[in-house]
């Protein structure tokens, strides 16, 4: 991912975006569409403990919260978590807990989860295989993993100077998830992001991969 001129979109970058994040209608619609697809794909119930990794301002998990027991809202950006905490307080939500967490450097929480959801975050995590193994370990046997992210693209989504994964090939990510121990893999397209470029509008499809830790 790295080259001499590359820019990392680190926690400070997302801190600076957090207050305005929910003003973007595309981000809100994306969260709703991914949440809708998760509801269709996974038998959610109110005994489930969930982890939303890279939760941002919670645009994925707020639409899911009535269907779940508890949700740990994890992100490496303190700014994003401040927005989440403000929304939790303003809406009187009792089942969501913000947690500052970067699983690339921090020890994983001791808790085990029935469901891990992560939207548009995997492409920011350098070591995909490592994070998939951590997700596997954080799930209870039978637990579900839901990853929403960009399909493989040419780098034009963020621009060539930005040091992120250029989306994911669905078959390659499925193979990596299987190698990390996941089963029951399904991938579907759930949204598409239209971006204006000098050459015209381009569409960037967003997939949802669902998988299960075997053993329930
Ligand atoms: C593109 S935003 C998506 C936010 C939210 N999931 C959504 O769909 O609106 C990516 C989020 O991942 C977080 N993030 C990036 N790298 C991370 C890491 N290593 N650990 C935890 N969070 C991370 C960022 O702070 C940011 O909130």
* pLDDT (tens digit per residue) in 98-145: 999 999 999 999 999 999 999 999 999 999 999 999 999 999 999 999
Ligand 1 surroundings by CB, under 6 angstroms: 11, 14, 27, 31, 54-56, 59-60, 75-77, 80, 102, 104, 119-121, 124-125
Answer for the pair 170, 209: CB distance below 8 angstroms, yes or no. Answer: yes
How far CA 216 is from CA of 7, 42, 187, 192, in Å, comes to: 42, 15, 22, 34
What is the average pLDDT score of the chain?
Answer: 95
Domain-wise residue ranges, the chain: 11-212
* Strand 96-100 versus strand 70-75 pairing type: parallel
Higher pLDDT, 104 or 6: 104
Strand-pair partners of 211: 145
How far CA 83 is from CA of 22, 134, 200, in Å, comes to: 10, 26, 34
The pTM of this model reads: 0.96
In whole angstroms, what is the distance from residue 66 CA to residue 111 CA? Answer: 21
pLDDT at residue 2 in the model: 46
Pick the residue whose CA is nearest to atom 27 on ligand 1: 56
Answer for the pair 128, 173: CB distance below 8 angstroms, yes or no. Answer: yes
In whole angstroms, what is the distance from residue 174 CA to residue 176 CA? Answer: 5
Pick the residue whose CA is nearest to atom 1 on ligand 1: 120
- Topology given in CATH for the domain delimited by 11-212: Rossmann fold (3.40.50)
The dihedral sign for the CA sequence 117, 59, 197, 76: negative
Higher pLDDT, 85 or 216: 85
Residue with tokens 């927005």: 83
Q: Give start and end residues of each alpha helix (H) in the chain.
A: 11-17, 25-41, 78-91, 128-138, 170-179
Higher pLDDT, 47 or 216: 47
């Amino acid at each position: 991912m790295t080259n001499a001129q590359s820019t990392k979109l680190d926690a400070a970058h997302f801190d600076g975006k957090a207050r305005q994040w929910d003003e973007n209608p595309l981000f809100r619609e994306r969260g709703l569409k991914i949440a809708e697809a998760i509801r269709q794909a996974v038998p959610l119930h109110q005994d489930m403990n969930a982890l939303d990794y890279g939760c941002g301002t919670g645009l994925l998990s707020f639409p899911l919260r009535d269907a779940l027991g508890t949700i740990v809202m994890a992100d490496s950006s303190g700014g994003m978590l401040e927005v989440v905490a403000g929304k939790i307080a303003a809406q009187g939500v009792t089942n969501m807990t913000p947690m500052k967490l970067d699983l690339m450097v921090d020890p994983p929480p001791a808790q085990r989860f029935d469901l891990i959801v992560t939207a548009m975050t995997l492409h920011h995590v350098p070591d995909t295989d490592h994070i998939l193994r951590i997700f596997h370990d954080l799930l209870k046997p039978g637990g579900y993993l839901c990853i929403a992210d960009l399909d493989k693209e040419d780098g034009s989504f963020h621009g060539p100077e930005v040091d992120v994964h250029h989306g994911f090939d669905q078959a390659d990510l499925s193979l990596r998830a299987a190698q990390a121990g996941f089963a029951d893999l399904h991938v579907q397209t759930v949204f598409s992001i239209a971006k204006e470029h000098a050459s015209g509008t381009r569409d960037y499809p967003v997939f949802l991969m669902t998988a299960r830790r075997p053993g329930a």
